[in-house]
Amino acid sequence: GAKGGPGVSGGPAPLCSPRSMADKNRAPKCSFSAPGHSSSLLQGLAALHAQGQLLDVALTVNREAFHAHKVVLMACSDYFRAMFTGGMREVSQDVIELKGVLARGLRHIINFAYSTKVTLDLDCVQDVLAAAPFV
């Protein structure tokens, strides 16, 4: 085969493998894995968020709005998944007021949803902890 392809000693494992005789009437299946895809996907979503594109919900805290993608919030939060899919009135709302959380804490939580990173200091740790149940 080609250098590094199937059949070359030390090359990657073949993507497609022969099937048993029992499976001879079915088309062979191949699998492909892209380990960096999830990171690229999250970076793309973060870019959309930063550019204000395709945002479909605004979470408000004390009249301050935090725009986001419902799908991102649902993907990383059981709370938001239940809110947007569980028959609650928020399913059809574009603006949702959150109670019991401060703007600074929610800002950190939303940034975490898009970046997987949060920076805490003594000034904000209590606010972030209060917002943590939302994710």
pTM above 0.85, yes or no: no
Instruction: For residue 75, report the phi and psi dihedrals to the nearest 5 degrees.
Output: -65, -30
Q: Tell me the C-alpha distance between 93 and 88, whole Å.
A: 10
Domains of the chain as residue ranges with CATH: 55-134 (3.30.710.10)
Q: Tell me the C-alpha distance between 6 and 4, whole Å.
A: 7
Q: Average the pLDDT over 67-87 and give the result.
A: 93
Local structure of residue 62 (DSSP, 8 states) = T
| Residue-level pLDDT at 27 | 77
pLDDT tens-digit series, residues 48-57: 999 999 999 9
Helix, strand, coil content of the chain in percent (nearest 5)? 45, 10, 45
